[in-house]
A and B are shown apart, each in its own frame.
Chain A
Amino acid sequence: MEIKKGLYYTEEHEWVRVSGNTAYIGITDYAQDAMGDIVYVELPEVGDTLKAGDVFSVIESVKAASDIYLPVSGTVLKVNTELEDSPEMINEDPYGSWIIAVDMLDDTELDQLMDAAAYKEYLSEEN
């Protein structure tokens, strides 16, 4: 299971890539593998302001629907509209396929998240 260095991770298997005050958010390799073939990604609206812990997307695989939680509070700057036509990109390249980008309200929330080493440890405990 791939875990990429330099990203922040949640216990719910989302990742965060920080660039300035912008947080790009996606789901981990573990998450895409657990879901299986992804067929649909429900995206929020640009401009929505959401709190950490809110459900910002629902990913539908063939077998089930999964809620995706926002790791950090913020306003939605961009949504990855490529996922509308090619949701399987998340299976193929989970760390390259961000779902949304948010303008962070409070970047100290990042301190609550795990780094790659801690997430690796967390995964090994989970299984």
Chain B
Amino acid sequence: MKIYGRGGFEMADLKRTPLYDAHTRLGAKMVDFAGWEMPIQYEGIIAEHEAVRTYAGIFDVSHMGEVEFTGPDAESCLQNLVTNDVSSIKDNQMLYTFMCYPDGGVVDDIIVYRLKQDRFMAVINASNIDKDIQWMREQAAPYNVVIKDRSGELSLIAVQGPKAEEILNELVDADLKDIGFFRFIDGVKCSSKTCMISRSGYTGEDGFEICLRNEDALFVWEKLLEAGTEKGLKPCGLGARDTLRFEANLPLYGNELSEHITPLEAGYGMFVKLDKGDFIGRDALKRQKEEGLTRRIVGFEMTENGVPRHGYDVLSDDEVIGFVTTGYNSPTLKKNIGLAMVDIGHSALGTEIGIQIRKKVLKAKVIKRNFYTKSYKK
């Protein structure tokens, strides 16, 4: 047996979250993810995936980065950095957005939280923390804003699934019913520990993300597991996180997004507001929109039996016309499906394409990308 298609197991010099000991006690398999030793699974990806779709799952996502923007120019600085319209959110609201290079390639996909008019927080991908902060600081030079990397002091726990609200409500001193989708409350107590709780996540289900100090993370994690286990809550690893986000058509940086892929090519133009005023990458993205895309990401389903994987070639008549960005045997749909970047001429629904799976080219067809209908609470 030789497992390929994922990273090695060199554990030396890896960073650990405050929940590391809890993971090993729960029997998690730990892997290297972006320099962090993280749980890929506990019981198994399928069982954890199904728990989130049916009841609830709890995820340690403390490896993600948090960056605070404070000062009179905080909003205008962010407005220049990102593609979505930061002025459209009020206090206690969040915004999903891209941070682009001048050529339209993506530095990172991030979530911006507005705490106050002059105070924002951005949650960024673990794999991009150093690159993002350097980029943010370089671009922020002309603005009156202080950028503070708080990644080292804050932990993030996600509770996702139809039972998430019920479980979390038992421990929180506020009524979570009052928090709408992509909104948050700060300074709330969860099991007596001060947290920031948002209704958000990366699974396509209703759910919450709890941001709190490192020293409080283990206590809150254990209280949540205690309160949730009888309601079907399971600890879930990065394996299920990826299958869940994939089914819900949520992009992963490094797969659907990268410095070589623009948000328009990735199919997330609704988070690019070309009319909001100037921002980094606007000219390139505007031009790309006007000239029309030459390639874009589509959904596909295998019509011959094989599992598509990230990086596999996409072919048409022996010619490579693209690559698979993510593919799985979908745990919810029990089908072999994927997302692929293909030349625009092969992107129409129903188009027959081939996926190179080892030595064979197996047939697939282009389908809609909403594999799983998200069940967000509005």
Contacts and interface: CB of A to CB of B under 8 A. Distances in A.
Interface string B1-17: 11111100000000000
B240 to A, nearest CB: 9
Contacts of B254: none
Interface string A58-77: 11101111111100000000
B102 to A, nearest CB: 36
B358 A62 contact: no
Nearest to B2: A67
Contacts of B41: 36, 63
B1 A27 contact: yes
Contacts of B305: 40
B26 to A, nearest CB: 16
A35 B1 CA distance: 9
A48 B147 CA distance: 64
B6 A64 contact: yes
Query: Which of B239, B307, B309: most chain A Cβ within 10 A?
Result: B307
Contacts of A64: 3-6, 309
Contacts of A27: 1
B328 interface: yes
B1 A69 contact: yes
A62 B358 CA distance: 17
A66 B53 CA distance: 28
Given A36-B44, A37-B45, A63 B329 contact: no
B6 A63 contact: yes
A13 interface: yes
B226 to A, nearest CB: 27
Q: Which interface class (under 10, 10 to 19, 20 to 34, 35 or more) fits A?
A: 20 to 34
Given A40-B307, A58-B358, A63 B40 contact: yes
Interface in A30-49: 31, 34-37, 39-40, 42
Nearest to A14: B1
A12 interface: yes
A63 B4 contact: no
Interface in B173-189: none
B328 A62 contact: yes
A9 to B, nearest CB: 11
Nearest to A30: B1
B348 interface: no
Nearest to A10: B1
Contacts of A13: 1
Contact of A65 (B5, B29, B45): B5
B3 A35 contact: yes
A59 B1 CA distance: 9
B241 to A, nearest CB: 11
A37 B48 CA distance: 11
A62 B6 contact: no
B46 interface: yes
Contacts of B35: none
A40 B329 contact: yes
Given A63-B6, A63-B239, A37 B1 contact: no
B8 to A, nearest CB: 12
A62 B5 contact: no
B307 A66 contact: no
B243 interface: yes
Contacts of A12: 1-2
Interface in A5-40: 12-14, 27, 31, 34-37, 39-40
B269 interface: no
Contacts of B243: 62
B331 interface: yes
Nearest to B305: A40
Contacts of A40: 305-307, 329, 336
B281 to A, nearest CB: 33
Contacts of B331: 62
B245 to A, nearest CB: 14
Contacts of B3: 34-35, 64-66
Contact of A62 (B1, B2, B306, B329): B329
B307 A60 contact: yes
Given A63-B45, A64-B6, 4 more contacts: A34-B3, A36-B45, A59-B1, A65-B307
Interface of A: 12-14, 27, 31, 34-37, 39-40, 42, 58-60, 62-69
Interface of B: 1-6, 29, 40-41, 44-46, 239, 243, 305-307, 309, 328-329, 331, 336, 358
Top 8 closest A-B pairs, CB basis? A39-B329, A64-B5, A62-B45, A60-B307, A31-B1, A37-B46, A66-B3, A13-B1
